[in-house]
Amino acid sequence: MTRSVIVAMSRRIRIRLGWLLAIGFLLMNLVAAFHAWRFTHFTTESGLHTDNPEQLSGPQKVWVLLTGIKNPKPVNHARPPFPYQTIYLTGPNGRLESWYSAVPHSKGTVALLHGYTSSKGKFLTEAATFRHLGYSVLLTDFAGNGGSEGNVCTVGHHEAEDVATVVRWLQHRPGPVFIYANSMGAVATLRAEAELGVRPTANLLECPYGSMLKTAQSRFRSMRVPPFPMANLLVLWGGLENNFWAFNLDATRYAAHISTPTLLMWGTADPRVTRQETDALFAALSGPKLRQDFPGSGHEPYWRKHQALWEQTITQALQHLPAPGNRTAATQ
């Protein structure tokens, strides 16, 4: 075999390899774009949402990787057992549906903001507890969820505008305004305060994730799939499809730019938000802050396993966080 023939064969191999790499890269982007769309756009189809990654069997995980998640729009299946009125707030993302319940001689109002693939109806226990403590409550569906307009969910970015809409409506009413927010709602709250100028009296936040990239990586790890490069591509396309740069969706960065008194809560068995993320976010908070860890709790309401501790924690936070000059950092 002559040298020229060897060179020609080598060149053809390089060309074919280049085409294979290009096709592989294109396919990865197509898959990532498809998954990002399914992740951020709810459908009107009936049925249940795909289980959390840690609950799926091996074959189910493969099927989800191939077909994407089932993502029907969350529905409010329960109604408040206490007196309330349904109100509608108009925000940049569309009309928001809220349940407002006032109590006599209220100490203030707590705005309750839910997490991803959830709705205001999941916060009835928390709302009843706040009412018992003497606070009026406002439960709101983010745009795209429950009774609110739309079908898009950006896992905290656009939802920050909904937080701003809710808080500014409440600030036209008497009394201090507190935010109680879970996961995605907590991240949206931090962005609303860091970038949109929202100023509630205090925050009570459950398990905000560190950044959009970290939460995407966590989901891939939960499915025992290497997070790179698909997690990065998923975040890239999730932002491009919804007109924002998702790599900047970073709760830890937001925390460093707010001075709102904040209680940070986290479950030590949380499979989606790590201790490292929580430690970094708590350290970044620049205002008065408190922290409470709930042993053995996962990405779930903390009152389920620690009702007394949870009630004690929120009661102390409501009493002490807004106090001027309080810069306590309590961790358990």
DSSP codes joined into one string, 137-176: EEEEPPTTSTTSS-SB--TTSTHHHHHHHHHHHHTTSSS-
Contact 206, 184 (CB under 8 A): no
Position 332 pLDDT exceeds 60: no
pTM of the predicted model as reported, rounded to 2 decimal places: 0.91
Question: How far is CA 16 from each of CA 9, 25, 72, 276, rounded to the nearest angstrom?
Answer: 11, 14, 42, 44
The residue that leads in pLDDT, 70 or 118, is: 118
Structure tokens at 282: 């708590």
What is the DSSP secondary structure assignment for residue 274, as one 8-state letter? -
Distance CA 107, CA 98 (A): 20
Q: How far is CA 213 from the centre of its chain?
A: 12
pLDDT of residue 232: 97
pLDDT above 60: residue 318? yes
Confidence of residue 242 (pLDDT cuts 50, 70, 90): very high
**Domain map (residue ranges) of the chain:** 14-72+216-246, 85-211+249-321
Say if domain 85-211+249-321 classifies as CATH 3.40.50.1820. yes
pLDDT of residue 14: 85
For the segment 281-307, what is each residue's pLDDT rounded down to a tens digit?
999 999 999 999 999 999 999 999 999
Given the structure tokens 């939960």, which residue do they identify?
222
Q: Is the pLDDT of residue 327 over 50?
A: no
How far apart (Å, rounded) are the C-alpha atoms in residues 91 and 93?
5
Instruction: State pLDDT tens for residues 220-233.
Output: 888 788 999 999 99
